Amino acid sequence: MTTRDIVLVALFAAIMVVLGLLPPITLGFIPVPITAQSLGPMLAGCILGARRGSASMLLFLLLVAIGLPVLSGGRGGLAVFAGPTAGYLVGWVFGAFVCGLIAERFVREDQGELAQLLTFLAASVAGGIAVVYFFGIPWLAYMSGQAFFQTALASLVFLPGDLIKAFVAMLAGRAVLAGYPLLPQRA
């Protein structure tokens, strides 16, 4: 990794910290809160690409693991990795990677704006939603002792907000590509 890559990774870990300052919305029927931090893997993947995006999520999780209260609601420490949200946290790393991989492979500067926007949206939905849910829902079902289907059904409450976040990541990815193209410079 170059110095530039390290700075970008640290910047997006810092963006995750800032997103954590927004208070979580707790729901009574599911132990996972609604947070703004699920936008972070989408942004990191779309803007930085697979390697740097997932590295920024790993750095952020390292900050969580050493006990800094950087998760939404001021949570941090190793205990969160044994809680019901741990699957989602791990999913952020893989989600940023998949989001970045799709964006790196399918977004080109010579494409039209609409094609770029739709590709960034597809990357955000696939990586930032599907992959994160793939890790989060089974772990949540295991930790809560509920059936997988019941947990998956309850997790649908997150989908509208996550689709809005995917739309925001799409717009941000396109804006950065047009104004300051980091993505084509594969890391």
Confidence of residue 183 (pLDDT cuts 50, 70, 90): low
- pLDDT on residue 150: 93
**Confidence at residue 185, expressed as pLDDT on a 0 to 100 scale:** 58
What is the end-to-end Cα distance of the chain in Å, rounded?
A: 7
* CATH number of the domain located at residue range(s) 3-179 in this protein: 1.10.1760.20
Read off the pLDDT of residues 85-111 as tens digits, 9 standing for 90 and up.
999 999 999 999 999 999 999 998 888
Q: What is the pTM of this model?
A: 0.92
Give residue limits of the domains in the chain: 3-179
Query: Percent of the chain, pLDDT > 90?
Result: 83
22-63 pLDDT per residue, tens: 988 888 888 888 899 999 999 999 999 999 999 999 999 999
Residue 112, classified by CB atoms within 10 Å of its CB into exposed (0-12), middle (13-18) or buried (19+), is exposed
